[in-house]
Amino acid sequence: MWATTPSNDEKLVDQAAIARTRKVAADIAAGRDELIPAGIVKRILGGENRIRVWRTHRGLSARDLAAATGLSAPYISEIEGGKKAGSLSALKKIAESLKVDLDDLV
């Protein structure tokens, strides 16, 4: 087998990948980001309501989430049940309370 040495471009790509990895690790350690457990991903990909998945992952009842958002528990239940889409302002409050991006809920 022939031993090859990485080109300068390959070294730069490797250094950039290492830097990104370190940033992600630092963000997780500082609480600015989190790893999403495989079970959560499977539930979301399986079609479960994202708000319900994140709410239960965070250990909150619908009443807890309602209290945290200032929304009513029945309204949250209707959103989770697909009866209502939820207003943008309601979804923003829910995302903030669940500590996720709005994109994680829609």
Low-confidence ranges of the chain (pLDDT < 50): none
Q: What is the pLDDT of residues 7-33, one digit of tens each?
A: 776 776 777 778 787 876 776 677 666
What residues does each domain of the chain span?
Answer: 7-35, 38-104
Res 27: pLDDT: 67
What is d(CA 65, CA 105) in angstroms, rounded to the nearest whole number? 14
CA dist 87 and 95 (Å) reads 12
Per-residue model confidence (pLDDT) at position 68: 96
**pTM of the full structure:** 0.71
- How many Å apart are CA 82 and CA 30, to the nearest integer? 35
Question: What CATH architecture is 38-104?
Answer: Orthogonal Bundle (1.10)
CA distance readout (Å), 82 to 36, 52, 76, 77: 24, 11, 10, 8
